[in-house]
Amino acid sequence: MAKKGVKTMSSDIVNRALVESFVKLDPRAMLKNPVMFIVEIGFVITLLITLDPNLFGGHFGSNQRIFNFIVCIILFITVLFGNFAEAIAEGRGKAQAESLRKTKTDLMANRKEPDGTYELVPATTLRKGDTVRVQAGEMIPADGEVLHGLGSVDESAITGESAPVIRGAGGDFSSVTGGTKLLSDELIIRVTVDPGESFLDKMIGLVEGASRQKTPNELALSVLLAGLTIIFLIVVVTLEPMAHYLGHSIDVATLIALLVCLIPTTIGALLSAIGIAGMDRVIRFNIIAKSGKAVEAAGDVNTLILDKTGTITIGNRLASEFTPVGSHTEKELVEVAVLSSLFDETPEGRSVVDLGKEKGIQIAHERYTDAENVEFTADTRMSGLNLADGTIVRKGAVDAIKRFVQEQRGVIPADLDAKTERIAKEGGTPLAVVKGNEVYGLIYLKDIVKPGMRERFEELRRMGIKTVMCTGDNPLTAATIALEAGVDDFIAEAKPEDKMRLIKDEQAQGKLVAMSGDGTNDAPALAQADVGLAMNTGTTAAKEAGNMVDLDSDPTKLIEVVSIGKQLLITRGAITTFSIANDVAKYFAIIPAIFAAVVPQLHVLNIMFLTSPHSAILSALIFNAIIIPLLIPLAMKGVKYKPMSATSMLVRNILLYGVGGVIVPFVGIKIIDLIITALGLANI
């Protein structure tokens, strides 16, 4: 869910944008936008001929000077409105950066010294690899990973989410961010960044950066707009000799007004604002996009790769049942299962120990301080202990445990597969437990599909997006969850290289791929994907590899990112359609006004019955200027997106913004003409 963010039109943002609108008049800045640069040149020329009507060989009276001055003012306002649109979009990012800066205070840290003592030092002196101790009520001084402890952390300064989160050693929630506050207990943290490289520093740089790179589609549209501008410039330049041949003269101000109305000034003025606003919408979902290209790519995604645990399902799989196999009893299984999970700090490991307590089995940690803890890895897919007497205790995926037992020359119980299949068919995850080379039984881990996931996947299907679920579960469990969730495909017993292979296969077919991840082993796939959404609680490697970071660490946001990306593309397309359609009405206003005197037949085109040639030109020019600020809210908020096929979306936009883009200016120009006539300016 989107967080409450910076208001689009707060007084501070508007005031700053007004100042920036004048600063951006610098021709060096305007050159980046060829369409608006031409308008600025037109303003300068009309200003010069207002001051000296004879500058270009003209011999005009006082009325013409007034007309030139009015055109000059309208063009100046048009340029300011274009700059204002971009400044408003940039202002939101700068306001967001300022709010983030407030969290950067002069923090102190309890750093562990070589002799084992802790010394209070400024947080700015911390370096990557340092160990710090944070107690309840203290601010976490730097980005890091929890080595020991479990505590409640207030991350509202970073994420905007008021509810505290749990951070602890082990598992997927060991990452902490500098500037957040520890509310309870005590954490020992290893610093993972050097000064100036913290996540907060990077966030500020990303949301503040006005020097963003244009996206590929934006660059392509910019080239198109520049091309149209050049074409219409050539057309307008050739009109004067043509009119002279017909015995008619067109004044410079009229030619400039015609050029400004011909070129697509509306989309030219709003193009940059649309791109910046697209990134801002992502930020309001508590996602930091490292580039506009990532947001735009999300709108074109064809394949979505999602982890099962925590994304499609609730996430914290909990032990709910012990199922012994072979000749072993439930009590024997529980003892070995609890022993294998004794030092496992993951939610799954703790749930095994808790369920063991309910069964009457409780083992003290102190009895096994000399045991070696073996953590879970994606390759072994097992975890457990190596006891001091050489005994090996493991729990893990059934196929991995079976291979382990066979390597140890043990015997696989005859009923293991049947009981594994039963758990898998029920949608649970079976973990096998082994001691030495004997399989004692299975731990039944329950995982529940999140409410509404089937409906969301159906939406994606209507958008033409294929969903693939990746899980380390066995094929039966994966198939059950995939069917219940409604995904299009799944990969069971997936390893990191399987995700990478899937991404490359999809990309080889010309598809764009998005995926989410949080672990170091996800980093290669996140870097390979066109859209890589890394979790804020994930490892530093994952956050560096992805081109987006989710501050809330909610993998389902990948679906929201796709919707935002599509909204960005639709908004740009809709306003482009509206802008070009606008030009049709302006042609009917200006062309008859210029040539009706020499070609009376062109009066037929004056279907708006505009009062006079000057009134028609001014009305079209004024409408051309005021439509820009009127469309700023749409550019900032974005066109409302509804899941539908590309054809349906195209038809909808053509009818709404194409036909609407023709009708609105006809009405608007006529109203402005009536006002100009009432003011007595129609015949200046």
CA pair distance 665, 660, nearest whole angstrom: 9
Which amino acid appears at position 604 of this protein? V
Report residue 636: phi and psi, to 5°.
Answer: -75, -45
Is 522 annotated to bind a ligand? Reply is: yes
Which amino acid appears at position 253 of this protein? A
CB contact at 8 A, 483 and 489? no
Is 381 annotated to bind a ligand? Reply is: yes
CA-based radius of gyration for the chain: 33
Is 518 annotated to bind a ligand? Reply is: yes
Residue among 468, 534, 474 nearest 505 (CA) = 468
3-class SS letters over 191-241: ECCCCCCCHHHHHHHHHHCCCCCCCHHHHHHHHHHHHHHHHHHHHHHHHHH
Is 378 annotated to bind a ligand? Reply is: yes
CA pair distance 476, 492, nearest whole angstrom: 8
Structure tokens at 356: 């063991």
Q: 171: left (phi > 0), else alpha (psi -120 to 50), else beta?
A: left
Residue among 87, 59, 130, 468 nearest 272 (CA) = 87
> Beta strand pairing status for 318-324 and 438-446?
antiparallel
Structure tokens at 358: 């309910």
Is 380 annotated to bind a ligand? Reply is: yes
Q: If you ran DSSP here, which 8-state letter would residue 465 be given?
A: -
- Which burial class, exposed, middle or buried, applies to 299 when counting CB atoms under 10 A from its CB (0-12, 13-18, 19+)? buried
> Beta strand pairing status for 372-374 and 318-324?
unpaired
Is 421 annotated to bind a ligand? Reply is: no
Residue whose entry in the numeric block shows the structure tokens 């796709």? 562
Burial of 55-64, coded b for 16+ CB within 10 Å and e otherwise, reads eeeeeeeeeb
CA–CA distance from 176 to each of 95, 127, 190, 538 (Å)? Answer: 24, 15, 10, 9
Is 102 annotated to bind a ligand? Reply is: no
Q: 179: left (phi > 0), else alpha (psi -120 to 50), else beta?
A: left
- Which burial class, exposed, middle or buried, applies to 127 when counting CB atoms under 10 A from its CB (0-12, 13-18, 19+)? exposed
Is 383 annotated to bind a ligand? Reply is: yes
Is 199 annotated to bind a ligand? Reply is: no
CA–CA distance from 513 to each of 290, 508, 521, 559, 614 (Å)? Answer: 17, 11, 18, 12, 55
307 is catalytic: yes
Is 81 annotated to bind a ligand? Reply is: no
CA pair distance 448, 435, nearest whole angstrom: 30
Which residue out of 154, 251, 280, 307 is catalytically annotated?
307
> Beta strand pairing status for 287-289 and 438-446?
unpaired
Report residue 487: phi and psi, to 5°.
Answer: -75, 160
Is 382 annotated to bind a ligand? Reply is: yes
> Beta strand pairing status for 303-307 and 108-112?
unpaired
Report residue 438: phi and psi, to 5°.
Answer: -115, 130
What residues pair up with 249 in beta bridges, in sequence order? none
Burial of 238-270, coded b for 16+ CB within 10 Å and e otherwise, reads ebbeebeeeeeebbbbbbbbbbbbbbbbbbbbb
Alpha-carbon dihedral of residues 608, 613, 615, 618, nearest 10 degrees?
100
Is 9 annotated to bind a ligand? Reply is: no
Annotated binding site: 344, 348, 376-383, 395, 518, 522
Annotated binding site for ATP: 344, 348, 376-383, 395
Task: List, by residue number, the catalytic residues.
Answer: 307
Annotated binding site for Mg(2+): 518, 522
